[in-house]
Structure 1
Amino acid sequence: MARMIFVNLPVVELDRSKRFYEALGATNEPKFTNDQAACMVLSDSIYVMLLRHEFYSTFTGKTIADAHKSSQVLLCISADSRAEVDRMVEAAAANGGKADPGPKQEMGDFMYGRSFEDPDGHHWEPMWMNAAAADQGAHPPEDAHA
């Protein structure tokens, strides 16, 4: 079985958050959705679990961070093209999110990334990377910033 990831996010308004992620292209998995949580499928191996604050609190004794005021995690997700990066950020902004809370990453033909926040302030970074350049590793070519 392929390894999967389930990103659990605390949310204030479950229905609003479901609509937001659906606008970005995620689909709801009703088998794992109820009045306390929603499972949003981003791919065959990536799921976002939206959990009402009260339900999220049953999994941890820690205070839930206000993602509008502090940062605990940056969620980076791959995109197939620069256009898809832009589409995701534009869809986020048009559906209650915030576009570009972080700097754009313009690295020529090597990599392109932007960012958005969901309605609860969770910071996402859609990123496109040139497959040929990715084979070279984490260090972009010298002229990548040109």
Structure 2
Amino acid sequence: MKQNIIFNLPVQDVEKSRAFFAALGFRPNPRFSNEQAAFMDIVDGMHVMLSSETFFQSLINKPVVNARQANEVVICLSCDSREEVDSLIARAAAGGARIAHPPEDHGFMYDQGFEDLDGHLWNLVWVEARD
């Protein structure tokens, strides 16, 4: 069986969020999208469903967290190089993201994070390959 990771995030404006993540290179998947949600392919096997807060609320039986005030998760994506981390951070910032912290360079590992348009935390990390 092929394994996929699909996570759902509540967003205030589905179209603005779809455009933001498309600018980062996420691919919109119209088959699973509508006015209430945008299904985005991140890489093969990993996807995000950007759901309107109203639709997201219909899927759960507790309050939707305001990600600008509290966080439950940090989404971490690996990158192929330091340059890819920097490029994605620059595109996120240009699209309206808040940069969460300056780059952290540990020699063998390099990372930086951002908050998307709704305050969800994303961390981009490059780790040196080891034999």
TM-score tier by shorter-chain length is over 0.9
| Cα deviation, residue 80, structure 1 | 0.4
- Looking at structure 1, the residues matched to 90 and 63 of structure 2 have their Cα atoms a distance apart, in angstroms, of 31
- Looking at structure 1, the residues matched to 88 and 129 of structure 2 have their Cα atoms a distance apart, in angstroms, of 20
- The number of aligned residues is 131
- 2:105 maps to 106
- 2:41 maps to 41
- 1:6 maps to 6
Q: CA RMSD in A?
A: 1.1
1:3 is matched by which residue type in structure 2? Q
| Cα deviation, residue 103, structure 1 | 5.0
Deviations 1:102-141 (A, max 9, x none): 3532111x10000011100000001000111xx6xxxxxx
| Structure 1 residue runs of 4 or more that deviate by more than 3 Å after TM superposition | none
1:31 is matched by which residue type in structure 2? R
Q: Look at both structures and tell me which one has the larger radius of gyration over its CA atoms.
A: 1
- Percent identity between the aligned chains? 40
- 1:130 maps to 128
- Looking at structure 2, the residues matched to 91 and 25 of structure 1 have their Cα atoms a distance apart, in angstroms, of 10
Kindly report which structure 2 residues correspond to 1:38-117, keeping only aligned pairs within 5 A, or say none: 38-99=38-99, 101-102=100-101, 104-108=103-107, 110-117=108-115
2:106 is matched by which residue type in structure 1? M
- 1:118 maps to 116
Q: Which runs of 5+ in 1 are unaligned?
A: 136-146
Q: Which runs of 5+ in 2 are unaligned?
A: none
Q: Helix, strand or coil for the counterpart of 1:116?
A: strand
